[in-house]
Amino acid sequence: MVSEATVTAAEIARIAGVGPAAVSNWRRRYAEFPTPVGGTAGSPQFLLSEVVNWLEGRGRSVRITLADEVWRAMEAVRDPARPGAILASAGFRLLGEEPSRRQAGAEDGAPPLPAALSADIEDLGSELGAAGAFEQLLHRWTEAHTRQVEVTPSPVAALMCALVGSTDGEAPVSVLDPACGTGGLLLQAAKSGTTALLGQDLDRDLAEITAVRLRLHGHDVSVKPGDSLLEDAHATSRVQGIVCNLPSGQRDWGRAELGYDTRWTHGLPPKGEPELAWLQHALAHLDDGGRAVLLMPAGVAARPSGRRIRAELLRRGTLRAVVALPSGSSRTPGAHLWIVERTRAAVPPEDVLFIDVDLFVGPDAEQPGVTTDWDNVRAAVASVWHRFRAGEELDADFAASVPVTVLLGDDADVTPALHVRRESGGPVDLTRLEEDRAGWLRLLNGLPNALPAVRETPMPPTGPSAGDASPRVSLDDLIRSGALRTWRGTTAQDTADGTTVRVPLLTLDDGLSRAGPSGHTYAAESERLREGDVLVFAAAPESARPADSREHGAVAGQGVTVLRPERASLDPWFLAGTLTLTGGPGTGRFGAPAVTTGRRSRLDTGRLFLPVRSREEQHRIGQAFRDIARFEESLAAVVDQGRSVARQLAEALAAGLVDPIDDRRS
C-alpha cells in the first residue's frame, strides 16, 4: 500500500507549469517517467516524490503551492461516498463558521474538519482571500471529479447571462437555476447585476457548495437540496430570468409520478425527452415576460419523440431563439442554447431566431488551433439577438430569422445549421451559374480517361509443385528490416520542452475530412509529416492514404498512425493502396475512410501483409493506385458540383430568372 502523497496528471501539469497535454507527451516519450501507483487507467496517480525528482532531474522548476498542499490534505480525509462534503466544509471554514448539521435543509450536513487542515485552510484564505482560496480548491475539486459533475464553462455562462437580460443590457432582478451544480451560472448572474438568486440541486453537497460559494463572493442566495422536478423547493417562486445547464440523458426523471403535472402546458414530455420536462419546469417559474436561457444537447432540436412539444413551443411563440455554440464549448458535443419566454403578447411572435456560432468563428487557416474569442462571440450574438428583438434586419451571415409557419413541418426541426445555411444563399448569379455549369461539364468529360488502363496478368502455375505463387511480407517484418517506420500520433502539447518546436497538429477529424491541420503542438523534427508518409486513421487499414501536401510539416494527432516507408525499397502509394484492400468490403479507398464509431486504438502490424514486388513493379502499381485515388476525388467533385449547379438552376427557375428550353426528343 502506498502511503506517500500522490498526484494526478493534471496536478503534475500544474506544479510543472505546463499544459495537461505536455504530461501525456512525457509519459509517451520518456520510458523513465514515473509509473502510476494508483488511480484508474483514465486518471492514474503518481508518487509526488518520484514526479518531483524526475522534473528536477530534467532541469524543470517545481512549484508546490499552499493550495496544492491543502488540496492533498482534503483528498486524504474526504468521504468517497460524498466527495463534495469536504469542499463544503472548507467553504464554511473560510466563512469563519462551523459546518451546520442542517445547512441547506440536510440532516447530515458538511462534516467537521481536522484541526490541522482547518488551520491550513485559514492560512490559504489569508494568502488568497476567502473567495479566491475557495475558487482554487473548487477548481481542483471539479478537475478531479470531471466525470461526475459538469461545470458550465465561464464564457458560456457569461453569454447565457447576457442573453437572459433585457434588450438594453439590464440584468433581471431575480434568477433561478433549478440544477445549479457548483453555482457557476448563479455567480455569473450575480456579477451581471442580479440581486435575488435562487437555486436547487439534487446533490445536497453541491447545494451547500453553491450556497457557500455565493456567500464568499458577497451575495445572498437561497439554495435548496432535492430533485427540482419531483420535489420543487421553489414551487411558489416566480422569477424574471432562468439560466440552467439542463440535466440530460436521465433515464428516469419522474414521468410516471408526474403524468398529470400542471407544468406540462406544452404537452407531456416523452420518457426519452427529460430536457423538455426541465424546459417546461423553467417556464412554470417565469413571470409574465420572463426569459429562460437553457444549455442542452443538440439532439433535442430534432428528436422525433419531441416533435409535438417543439411544435407547440413554436405555435405559442414560446421558443424565441436557438444558438448553436462553437464545437468544444461543453462536454455535450454540439451544444445549443434555447431562449424561451413566457410571453404576454396577445398575438404570438411570428419568427424564430437561429444563430450558428461555428459559422461566425470559422477555422483560421493561418493560425490553426487558435481558441475561440469569446468576448467577440458574446458581443456578436448579443447584437444579433437585440436586433431581432427590435424587429430590425439581421446583417449577419451566421444568423437567420425564420417564420414559424416554415418551421411547423413534419419534424419541427429547430437545428440552427439547417436554417441558417438555408437562409444565407443570397440571390442567384446567372453568370456564375453558367461558369459553374461549364466547369462541371469539364470535370464530367475528364472522368472517362482518369482510370488507369490495365491488362490481364498471366495465370500463376497451380498444384503442389508450384510453390508459393504469391509471397507476402508482414508490416512487422518490414519494420524489423528497417524498410518501414511507424508511430502513433500525439495529443496537443501546450509548451515546449527544449527539444521541440511549435508545429501544426493534424487531428483525427482533420485527416478524415481532408480539411488540413486545425491545431498546434510542440514536437521533434523527426515526428513531422513529410512527402511519402502514409497515414492510417483510427487504426483502420482501409483508411490508409499518403499524406497530402498541406499536411506536410504537421504532426499526427491522437488516433492517427504514421507509416514512413524507406523510399528505396517501398513505394508509398503501393503501401497505401494495398492496405486499403485489407479492410474487407466497403473500404474507404483513399478519399473516404470507412471509420466507424467502434474505433481501434492500435494498428495490428503483425496481421497486415503486402505482396512481395520489385521496386519497379511497386512504382508501376503505385502509380495506378494514385490514378484511382484521383479518379475517386474527381468523381466526388463531379457529384458535389453537380448538386450545387442543380440547386442554383432550381433557384433560378423558381425566381423566374430563367426559362427551360424544351429540347427533349420523342
Of 101-115, 211-225, 560-574, 640-654, least confident by mean pLDDT is 101-115
pLDDT confidence band for 441 (50 / 70 / 90): confident
The yes-or-no verdict on residue 471 having pLDDT over 90 is no
**Stretch 27-36: mean pLDDT:** 87
**Higher local confidence (pLDDT), 8 or 355:** 355
Determine the average pLDDT of the residues in 230-245. 95
> What is the reported pLDDT for 470?
67
Burial class (CB in 10 A: 0-12, 13-18, 19+), 254: middle
Integer CA distances (angstroms), 649 to 427, 494, 645, in order: 12, 48, 6
364 confidence band (pLDDT: 50, 70, 90): very low
Q: In the block, which residue shows the cell 494495398?
A: 578
Residue whose grid cell is 443590457? 169
Report the sign of the C-alpha dihedral through residues 217, 223, 226, 228, in that order: negative
How many Å apart are CA 209 and CA 81, to the nearest integer? 16
Report the 10 Å Cβ neighbour count for 467. Answer: 9
Mean pLDDT across 341-350: 81
Supply the pLDDT for residue 374: 85
What gap in Å lies between CA 561 and CA 575, rounded to an integer? Answer: 14
Please write the tens of the pLDDT for every residue from 137-181: 999 898 888 777 888 999 999 999 999 988 677 899 999 999 999
Phi then psi dihedrals of residue 175, to 5 deg: -140, 140
- Dmax (CA) for the chain in angstroms is 98
Helices 374-389 and 154-164 cross at an angle (nearest 10°) of: 20
- Residue 472: strand pairing partners: 611
The predicted model gives 474-478 an average pLDDT of 89
Q: Which of 147-161, 249-263, 494-508, 525-539 is predicted with the least confidence, judged by mean pLDDT?
A: 494-508
State residue 241's pLDDT score.
Answer: 96
- Residues above pLDDT 90, as percent of the chain: 37
Compute φ and ψ for 11, nearest 5 degrees: -70, -35
**Residue 44 or residue 295, greater confidence:** 295
- Report the residue count for the chain: 666
Is the CB of residue 418 less than 8 Å from the CB of residue 356? Answer: no
3-state secondary structure (DSSP) of residue 561: strand
| Average pLDDT rounded to a whole number, residues 363-372 | 49
Element (H, E) at 90: helix 85-95
Mean pLDDT of the chain, nearest integer: 83
Look at residue 328 in the predicted model and tell me its pLDDT.
Answer: 63
Residue 603 banded pLDDT, cuts 50, 70, 90 = confident
Q: So what's the pLDDT on residue 445?
A: 83
Q: Are 325 and 336 a contacting pair, CB within 8 Å?
A: yes
Give the pLDDT confidence score for residue 135 in this predicted structure.
95
Pairing of strands 6-8, 44-47: antiparallel
Evaluated on CA atoms 161, 166, 170, 176, the torsion sign reads negative
- Note the pLDDT of residue 652: 77
How many CA atoms lie within 13 Å of 164's alpha carbon, on the beta-carbon side? 36
pLDDT of residue 587: 38
- As a whole number of angstroms, the distance between CA 78 and CA 63 comes to 24
State phi, psi for 576 to the nearest 5 degrees. Answer: -65, -45
3-class DSSP assignment, residue 225: strand
Which of residues 18 and 322 earns the better pLDDT score?
322
Angle between helices 9-16 and 20-29 (to 10 degrees): 110
pLDDT higher than threshold 70 for residue 339: yes
Only one residue has cell 520542452, namely 497
Q: Is the pLDDT of residue 556 over 50?
A: yes
In this prediction, residues 379-386 reach a mean pLDDT of 92
Of 321, 322, 330, nearest in space to 372 by CA: 330
pTM of the predicted structure, to 2 decimals = 0.64
Which pLDDT does position 230 carry in this prediction?
95
* DSSP state at residue 226: S
What is the torsion angle, in degrees rounded to the nearest 10, for the CA atoms of residue 510, residue 514, residue 516 and residue 521? 30
| Burial (Cβ within 10 Å: 0-12, 13-18, ≥19) of residue 333 | exposed
Q: Are 134 and 95 in contact (CB under 8 A)?
A: no
Residue 395 CB contacts under 8 Å (≥ 6 apart), including other chains: 387
As a whole number, mean pLDDT of residues 231-241 equals 95
Per-residue pLDDT of 253-277, as tens digits, reads 998 899 889 999 999 999 889 999 9
Please tell me the distance from the alpha carbon of residue 308 to that of residue 269, in angstroms, as a whole number: 9
Predicted pLDDT at 330: 61
Q: The C-alpha cell of 511 is what? A: 485527416
**3-class secondary-structure state, position 177:** strand
